[in-house]
Structure 1
Amino acid sequence: MSAPFLFICLSLALSLSFSSLTPSTMRKGSSLSVEKSGDVLISADRIFSAGFYPVGDDAYCFAVWFSKALYDGSHSVVWMANRDQPVNGRYSKLSLLKTGNLILSDAGRLTLWATETTSASSVQLQLYNTANLVLHTLEGKILWQSFDSPTDTLLPQQLLTKDTILVSSRSQGGYSSGFYKLYFDDDNILRLRFDGLETSSIYWPKPWQRPAETGRSASNNSRTAVLDTYGRFKSSDDFQFSSVDLGMGPKRRMTIDADGNIRLYSLDERRRAWTISWQAISTPCVIHGICGANSLCSYTAETGRRCNCLPGHKMRNHTDWSYGCEPDFNLSCNNEEVVFVKFPHVEFYGYDIWYSRNQTLEWCEEICLQLCSCKGIQYKFSKDGYYLCYIKTQLLNGHRSLGFDNPMYIKLPRANLSSHDKTVQEVQLDCSRLVTVPLDRTYTKKHENVTVKFMLWFARGCGGIEIIGFLFVLYVLYRNREGSGVIEKGYLHIAMGFKRFTYAELKKASRNFSVEIGRGGSGVVYKGTLSDNRVAAIKCLSEASQGEAEFLAEVSTIGRLNHMNLIETWGYCAEGKHRLLVYEYMEHGSLAENLTSNTLDWKKRFEIALGTAKGLAYLHEECLEWVLHCDVKPQNILLDSNYHPKVADFGLSKLLNRGGIDNSSFSRIRGTRGYMAPEWVFNLPITSKVDVYSYGIVMLEMVTGRGPIGVQTMDDNGMMEQRRFVAWVREKMDGATENAPWIEEIVDRNMDGEYDKGKMELLVRVALQCADQQDKDARPTMSKVVEVLLGHENDDF
């Protein structure tokens, strides 16, 4: 094929591309049509688009979305005009009338949405770079803007006020209005509320706590909140948070999701995927209405959140848990025919008809038996030292948590109890029975011009032939280029982001596994150079008892995790008995190596503490998969060329023997001596607090320069004795005086006194709280550690 013809094809393609450029404004008397795919407004920076967005079969909403598609081809919608009343795919329009009113008409007949604005002067509709869709006069007077009527998303620079409410979608992946709302209440506090099919209740912040107890203030009645471009959110009630990737750069959106949680998302431009950089609630089962009435919400590492019906109950709607469960029996008022069934670690919040203090369980049961409407009792031991009795008329907001020590007693029929399993019944959603409800509208089909229709199809056919020819030319050129094999391999990683390597490839890349750079309980790590010249760390796992399908399922979990303080996984190998993982190579090795080489000053150490905490917080609370590390130690904290920390080996405990995980208990002890939490030794339930404990030990080691196994000190008789590491640090702190400051006695001598004393003391206190031996619940969450350290990150060093 000649070069001139190829040039003409390329010119034609470019001209078609540039001709499709759409301005960011729409003027009086013009309209956008649902039938014209090119009828969209595009912001000046081309980040956002506004137009008709498909939400179902022949159903569209006028929306604003991120112009670039995600990895799966979908777009992220940030606003909708008619989320609950989609328009038809024929003849529907958004029109800016000469009166200044912006209207959305369905099939050219029924007006479904309007701004109800008027203006005698010239007006235009403009999509700003902030994604704000603004109707304004040419003089700049704003008549209407989408930022004043958000749907489920708040964008940077968009105010949340007393007059605006974020409303969740009805389901994940859906667009119609759901049950959860973020709004300013009449007491000036920013709250989350569940507005269900039959009930309504506030669940965040904790409704039984006063504003001061949750760090809020009701004294300011301005009722405003905003997310800035750096990833900081501030509210007039003193609530605030920061994204884990704080700073300019990532595109962000704050959304109230269909499950009732608020999450801040940051866009990974390379992978074209959103990552969670903050969320309001880390325990999803405390969200009200999540499983409906007469059901229990529970959470496990393997399955995430799940809903189950109580004994003797069945699902009301097998396609939607919000309807809850209904009893499959008639409960008698005869005391002899009912019995109380105890459910440990179960709570049903709210809807108490009776409340009494300092009563026995028998008295509480007797009160319930006297009331036909009583369905159960919550019997709790208060922190004040007496028992509380709650009489329940409805069993709502039920959840099971090992952190809740008190039982729930549910009233069930004695006669039928033997026929019902006394355990909670697990029920799965039946997605095959989902039905689509058509809009209750009829349309009159307009007369179509047959000649025009034929010409349109002819033009489309010609255009299709030209496109096929153009693609064929590119294919021929691609096939004839030299080194096409290298190009194919290079672009495979760009397209997929996660590659499956052959064992031969990795053997060649590592020069027959000749350069060992690390070794641990889970395997040996070798340095290698991939075919695209990237330097990689190749880990050969020491256990290969899993089948390939199980291994791939686990690896896919690790491959989806993405955070700036987690080591990036580039690929894997599952071939025969070989199980290998391919990571990015870290130039400065592990924290353990650097602690002994005197390369870390105080500023680097503080940044390592903060970055490691961010990575662990993401694993515990922010990623969609719940991952415990189980082996946090200096050898598993790697440093890049700028000494920024990245946590390695995350998820490997789950990867190697996930079958051993059963209700937060493990089949064998995991971790490294000196860094292991007491729960491992005493066979207690394993939670994310084991990683918090290990983090505290690592931070103390980084501060002191001493290993965690023990500290040799001189006793009163002049003899050397071995002391527990944490106990030694705590004794130094507790025994400090003005003449004998404690921090100088424990700090690593390699820092030569060059450190910030105040922040050093803060880091030690946080580490000691993390390494609490007696009470794991007293240990903070990793997100709380991040919050404390972030408050001091930007201070002058």
Structure 2
Amino acid sequence: MDISSLFFLLCLLQTLSSSASSKAFDTLIGTSLSVEKPSDKLVSANGEFSVGFYPVGDNAFCFAIWMTKPSVPTVVWIANRDDPVDGKGSKLSVSKDGKLHLTDSAGSVVWKTKTEALTISEASNLQLRLMNTGNLVLYNFSSVAIWQSFDSSTDILLPQQLLTFGTSVISNRGQGLYSSGYYKFFFDEDNALHLLFQSPKLSSLYWPDPSLKNISDAGICIYNTSRAALLDDTGYFWSSDHFKFYATDFGTVTQRRLTLDADGNLRLYSLQEMNGSWDWVVTWQAISDPCRIHGICGPNGVCTYDHVSGRRCFCLQGFKMKDHSDWSSGCEPEFNISCDHRDESTFIQLAHVDYYGSDIDFLQNLTFQDCQEECLNWCNCKGFQYRFSVEDGGYNCYPKSRLLNGRRSPNFDGDLYLRVPKAGISNHKMPDEEFRLQCSSIVSKQERSTYENKTVKLLLWFATAVGGVEFSCIVLIWFFLLKTSKRPASTAQGYLGLTAKFKRFTFNELRKATRGFKEVIGQGAGGIVYKGVLPDQRSPNAMHTSDNGEIREHKRLVMLVRENVNIGTTEKSWIEEIIDPMLTDNYDKAKMELLVKVALQCVAKDKDERPTMTQVIEMLMSHED
């Protein structure tokens, strides 16, 4: 073999090796990816996308696809955005039935692909591959795609990712948060694309402009039932409802993403190089005035916007911010209006303030006085919108049951009249600056996800519940003793003192509680110290120290009480040997003896000899009977 042939062979082997390594790079080799191995990820052949476990909080991970070229990696798809897993033992696996399974450390399935189950032979040659488009595809043995991430988008549409009637784009909860938010981009039943605000309690469409009488006025066609939309690589977006747009850098070859942001606006981003790093630039957005986005400042909130200070949220006069970490919770009133006393209400005029929706009624060509009376006639009327209509040639009245989607704009020619109590709130038109200064502008704080093992959480809840039951039993016994005690206040104090003496072994208390222990001189660890006992008289179990020539003997209080109970005396009751002498005869000996015996059983060394809480109650109740 000559040198040229050898050189050709080496080049061929190198090419084949590179091809094999590239295939292994973007295709899953084996059956699973582990969260504990950062190297367990797939990278597209062009190096622009990665898929694996992405950190989303404290010990919280999601199985995600992200772009690697931007200065800050950009997550474009997440499997388990609302149910993150922990950083130990979690993994993504290709199961025997041909599905992808994401499991947490406890082995619980938190996400899986919604595909038909395959036979063992059909699932034997499955391949999971990350494409150059950012699409994660699961192929069967015939190289047919049986699942792809493009069919289940999160908050982003990538070029070549088709949006259909069966798919939707849902915003994140906030900046840096990956859980599902309150905004949705989708095809509605009318075959047109819409933006929807959908909180746990409220929902409303806000794009295209809902104030238009007909959606066709926005250039939308509702007769094409194919319901499909697509963004291409050049920055052109088209939809079957005839909606389309172009990026400001249309035609440029770069990475792009159409994102429904956490503030409810739909924006197209293009990746551009600036100062040596790649960052995102907005090249199109659906809504120029962000205050037209519903739910942005919450109930009873007002949104204002200008190009200098941007968007700001305020509370109405007489209202306060409900949650200082989240403006979507809105504001709550600091006053109450009684339905039975309508004359106690008055109205404050808020110029150029609009609240969209929640109209109790729509009344045409009404005087201001009549509109005000209409609102007063409704118990749930929070105020009314009053504005001139060019089409109707008069003023229209809109009584409001709720104050939602509020915005303040000099371009809005109507006013809101807020219903408030007469006492404490003035009845004049509020100046613009006064309105601005009376409201809070605290910026929402962002939350951070933390993984919680639901099994451990359930066990902790169960343990807490058991502890609560035990505490409740103790409280019941305590009240039982207080209820059955008939003696004077000094006797009640004796009971409390005796209970405390079983818990605290201080020298002074023991001296008061034991009349026969005259030689107590101090306290040692775990017992009582005596004076004047010779070494040969000490119990074999006694401990002793000799600090100043005096011999000390220690016995635990429980042992001493138990000895008095067992030995007893003929001259006096054993209870008199241990009771506080200051009580004299102001106590019931039988009750006190019963109480001590029950206490001794409860501190028995053998747990099987200790009574249950039910038995304790029965023993105490037996004396009352």
Q: Would you say 1:388 and 2:396 are equivalent positions? A: yes
Q: 1:188 aligns with which of 191, 198, 203?
A: 191
Residue in structure 2 matched with residue 426 of structure 1 by the alignment: 439
Residue in structure 2 matched with residue 101 of structure 1 by the alignment: 99
Q: Secondary structure at the match of 2:435?
A: coil
Using the TM superposition, give the Cα deviation of residue 434 of structure 1 relative to its aligned residue in structure 2, in angstroms: 5.6
Q: 1:77 aligns with which of 75, 80, 87?
A: 75
Using the TM superposition, give the Cα deviation of residue 231 of structure 1 relative to its aligned residue in structure 2, in angstroms: 0.6
Instruction: Tell me if the contact between 2:327 and 2:444 (Cα under 8 Å) persists in the aligned partners.
Output: no
Q: Secondary structure at the match of 1:285?
A: helix
Instruction: Tell me if the contact between 1:290 and 1:321 (Cα under 8 Å) persists in the aligned partners.
Output: yes
- Distance across 1 between alignment mates of 2:173 and 2:400: 28
Using the TM superposition, give the Cα deviation of residue 249 of structure 1 relative to its aligned residue in structure 2, in angstroms: 0.8
Using the TM superposition, give the Cα deviation of residue 439 of structure 1 relative to its aligned residue in structure 2, in angstroms: 2.6
Instruction: Tell me if the contact between 1:35 and 1:89 (Cα under 8 Å) persists in the aligned partners.
Output: yes
Q: Secondary structure at the match of 1:175?
A: strand
- Distance across 2 between alignment mates of 1:434 and 1:179: 15
Residues 203-236 of structure 1: per-residue CA shift (max 9 Å, x gap): 0001232121000000100000000111100000
Q: 1:91 aligns with which of 89, 92, 96?
A: 89
Please show how residues 632-671 of structure 1 align to structure 2 within 5 Å. none
Using the TM superposition, give the Cα deviation of residue 264 of structure 1 relative to its aligned residue in structure 2, in angstroms: 0.2
Please show how residues 409-420 of structure 1 align to structure 2 within 5 Å. 409-418=417-426
Please show how residues 272-421 of structure 1 align to structure 2 within 5 Å. 272-333=278-339, 334-384=341-391, 385-418=393-426
Residue in structure 2 matched with residue 507 of structure 1 by the alignment: none
- Distance across 2 between alignment mates of 1:389 and 1:182: 32
Q: Secondary structure at the match of 1:347?
A: strand
Using the TM superposition, give the Cα deviation of residue 330 of structure 1 relative to its aligned residue in structure 2, in angstroms: 0.5
Q: Would you say 1:168 and 2:171 are equivalent positions? A: yes
Q: Would you say 1:127 and 2:130 are equivalent positions? A: yes
- Distance across 1 between alignment mates of 2:23 and 2:310: 44
Using the TM superposition, give the Cα deviation of residue 278 of structure 1 relative to its aligned residue in structure 2, in angstroms: 0.1
Deviates more, 1:266-275 or 1:114-123: 114-123
- Distance across 1 between alignment mates of 2:238 and 2:250: 14
Instruction: Tell me if the contact between 1:31 and 1:96 (Cα under 8 Å) persists in the aligned partners.
Output: yes
Q: Secondary structure at the match of 1:83?
A: coil
Using the TM superposition, give the Cα deviation of residue 44 of structure 1 relative to its aligned residue in structure 2, in angstroms: 1.0
User: How many pairs were matched up?
Assistant: 423
Using the TM superposition, give the Cα deviation of residue 317 of structure 1 relative to its aligned residue in structure 2, in angstroms: 0.8
> Structure 1 residues 437 and 49, CA, compared in 2 at 3 Å: closer, same or farther?
closer
Q: Secondary structure at the match of 2:195?
A: strand
Residues 239-288 of structure 1: per-residue CA shift (max 9 Å, x gap): 00000000041210000000000000000134311000000000000100
Equivalent AA in structure 2 for residue 428 of structure 1 = S
Equivalent AA in structure 2 for residue 236 of structure 1 = S
Instruction: Tell me if the contact between 1:251 and 1:267 (Cα under 8 Å) persists in the aligned partners.
Output: yes
Residues 138-184 of structure 1: per-residue CA shift (max 9 Å, x gap): 42222111000000000101100000010000111211000000000
- Distance across 2 between alignment mates of 1:193 and 1:431: 22
Deviates more, 1:429-438 or 1:369-378: 429-438
> Structure 1 residues 127 and 88, CA, compared in 2 at 3 Å: closer, same or farther?
same
Residue in structure 1 matched with residue 497 of structure 2 by the alignment: none
Residue in structure 1 matched with residue 67 of structure 2 by the alignment: 66
Q: Secondary structure at the match of 1:170?
A: strand
Residue in structure 2 matched with residue 57 of structure 1 by the alignment: 58
Residues 445-472 of structure 1: per-residue CA shift (max 9 Å, x gap): xxxxxxxxxxxxxxxxxxxxxxxxxxxx
> Structure 1 residues 255 and 350, CA, compared in 2 at 3 Å: closer, same or farther?
same
* Greater RCO (Cα-Cα under 8 Å, separation 6 or more): 2
Using the TM superposition, give the Cα deviation of residue 419 of structure 1 relative to its aligned residue in structure 2, in angstroms: 12
- Distance across 1 between alignment mates of 2:450 and 2:91: 23
Q: Would you say 1:148 and 2:151 are equivalent positions? A: yes
Using the TM superposition, give the Cα deviation of residue 431 of structure 1 relative to its aligned residue in structure 2, in angstroms: 5.8
Deviates more, 1:325-334 or 1:414-423: 414-423
Residue in structure 2 matched with residue 547 of structure 1 by the alignment: none
Using the TM superposition, give the Cα deviation of residue 137 of structure 1 relative to its aligned residue in structure 2, in angstroms: 1.3
Residue in structure 2 matched with residue 37 of structure 1 by the alignment: 38
Using the TM superposition, give the Cα deviation of residue 101 of structure 1 relative to its aligned residue in structure 2, in angstroms: 1.5
Please show how residues 203-282 of structure 1 align to structure 2 within 5 Å. 203-209=206-212, 210-270=214-274, 271-282=277-288
Q: Secondary structure at the match of 2:251?
A: coil
Using the TM superposition, give the Cα deviation of residue 302 of structure 1 relative to its aligned residue in structure 2, in angstroms: 3.2
Q: Would you say 1:439 and 2:452 are equivalent positions? A: yes
Residues 32-75 of structure 1: per-residue CA shift (max 9 Å, x gap): 111111111111111111000000011000000112241xxx31
Instruction: Tell me if the contact between 1:251 and 1:266 (Cα under 8 Å) persists in the aligned partners.
Output: yes
Using the TM superposition, give the Cα deviation of residue 416 of structure 1 relative to its aligned residue in structure 2, in angstroms: 2.0
- Distance across 2 between alignment mates of 1:102 and 1:363: 64
Q: Secondary structure at the match of 2:375?
A: helix
Instruction: Tell me if the contact between 2:386 and 2:395 (Cα under 8 Å) persists in the aligned partners.
Output: yes
- Distance across 1 between alignment mates of 2:261 and 2:443: 22
Instruction: Tell me if the contact between 2:159 and 2:256 (Cα under 8 Å) persists in the aligned partners.
Output: yes
Equivalent AA in structure 1 for residue 351 of structure 2 = P
Instruction: Tell me if the contact between 2:57 and 2:450 (Cα under 8 Å) persists in the aligned partners.
Output: no
- Distance across 2 between alignment mates of 1:159 and 1:365: 51
- Distance across 2 between alignment mates of 1:176 and 1:432: 15
Equivalent AA in structure 2 for residue 115 of structure 1 = T
Using the TM superposition, give the Cα deviation of residue 380 of structure 1 relative to its aligned residue in structure 2, in angstroms: 1.3
Structure 1: any 5+ residue segments left out of the alignment?
Answer: 1-17, 445-797
> Structure 1 residues 312 and 433, CA, compared in 2 at 3 Å: closer, same or farther?
farther
Instruction: Tell me if the contact between 2:155 and 2:170 (Cα under 8 Å) persists in the aligned partners.
Output: yes
- Distance across 2 between alignment mates of 1:242 and 1:226: 12
> Structure 1 residues 223 and 254, CA, compared in 2 at 3 Å: closer, same or farther?
same
Equivalent AA in structure 2 for residue 174 of structure 1 = L
Residue in structure 1 matched with residue 478 of structure 2 by the alignment: none
> Structure 1 residues 202 and 430, CA, compared in 2 at 3 Å: closer, same or farther?
closer
- Distance across 1 between alignment mates of 2:47 and 2:451: 35
- Distance across 2 between alignment mates of 1:131 and 1:63: 11
Cα-Cα RMSD: 2.3
Equivalent AA in structure 1 for residue 195 of structure 2 = L
Q: Secondary structure at the match of 2:373?
A: helix
- Distance across 1 between alignment mates of 2:100 and 2:286: 36
Residue in structure 2 matched with residue 600 of structure 1 by the alignment: none
Residues 592-615 of structure 1: per-residue CA shift (max 9 Å, x gap): xxxxxxxxxxxxxxxxxxxxxxxx
Instruction: Tell me if the contact between 1:92 and 1:104 (Cα under 8 Å) persists in the aligned partners.
Output: yes
Q: Which has the larger radius of gyration?
A: 2
Please show how residues 315-714 of structure 1 align to structure 2 within 5 Å. 315-333=321-339, 334-384=341-391, 385-418=393-426, 423=435, 425-429=438-442, 439=452, 441-442=454-455
Equivalent AA in structure 2 for residue 103 of structure 1 = H
Using the TM superposition, give the Cα deviation of residue 303 of structure 1 relative to its aligned residue in structure 2, in angstroms: 2.2
Equivalent AA in structure 1 for residue 308 of structure 2 = E
- Distance across 2 between alignment mates of 1:260 and 1:397: 13
Equivalent AA in structure 2 for residue 427 of structure 1 = S
Residue in structure 1 matched with residue 464 of structure 2 by the alignment: none
Instruction: Tell me if the contact between 2:271 and 2:279 (Cα under 8 Å) persists in the aligned partners.
Output: yes
- Distance across 2 between alignment mates of 1:228 and 1:311: 48
> Structure 1 residues 430 and 298, CA, compared in 2 at 3 Å: closer, same or farther?
closer
Report the TM-score, using the length of structure 1 for normalisation. Answer: 0.51
Equivalent AA in structure 2 for residue 441 of structure 1 = K
